[in-house]
Amino acid sequence: MERALTLTKTTIGKKALMALSGVAMLGFVIGHLSGNLKVFAGAEDFNEYAVWLRTMPGLLWGTRIVLLGALAAHMASAFSLWSRNKSARKSRYTKKKDLATDYAAKTMYWSGPILFFYIVFHLVHLTFGGMIFGESAVFGIEGYEWDHSNPYNNMVLGFQHWAVVVPYVLGVVALGVHLFHGIWSAFQTVGLNHTKYNFLRRDLSIALAVFITAGFLSIPVAVLAGWIEPTTQTFFYPELEPS
């Protein structure tokens, strides 16, 4: 039977879906980073920002739905293309020289899954943390009690322990490496190229990857160096109770 060629079944269509969902998630990451950097402004600012995120109509669930959809699309296209590419060369070369590719490009199938597992860990820790750990210590870390009304302390106290810092650093570095190739690759995939601006595509990927990695890493560094300390102030925000 003759069927019309459908975009999502083609390799380029799947790549475009991967690029667009990647850009959506990149947008979130940039917003998430700029929000998290409020930790440097102090506990009050940070916690009020958390309340604002919760009380903006539609923001929380709108973001969640878009991100879940983007993640599902990104992973489904990646898996489908990965299995296709694997079967496109069944007999391997004995000798093969890489002439152009780089570490980031070659490890996309590693940095991606690492990021996925980190995201799961991150959600268990900070999104479902209150529900999972209740009144007991988070990840069994002594003195690390959950406080719904004080996201600032939930974050800062966590970064005093290797069990939180190590996966975080791994996740953030994987993100940086993934973005280094991913951002440039997205331009190429959707056909955004022009000889006048092509050099900017590489520069932009490097700048964004470095900025995002350094930005996220600055928080545990500041906590471990003692520049940011847990607050002794008490807060009461019923808006931050798990809903």
List interacting residues with other proteins (CB under 8 A). 2-7, 9-16, 81, 84-85, 87-101, 105-106, 108, 181, 184-185, 187-193, 195, 198
User: Closest CB to other proteins among 14 and 125?
Assistant: 14
Distances (CA, A) of 51 to 45, 148, 160, 239: 10, 11, 24, 6
Show Cβ contacts of residue 181 under 8 Å, excluding neighbours closer than 6 positions: 102, 104, 105, 108, 205
Smallest distance from other proteins to CB 123, Å = 28
The least distance separating other proteins from the CB of residue 204, rounded to whole angstroms, comes to 15
Minimum CB–partner distance for residue 211 and other proteins (Å): 22
The owner of tokens 């056909």 is: 191
CB of 118 to other proteins, least distance (A): 22
Q: How far is the CB of 175 from other proteins (least distance, A)?
A: 18
Q: Name the residue among 187, 170, 179 with its Cα closest to residue 207.
A: 179
* Between 50 and 183, CB nearer to other proteins: 183
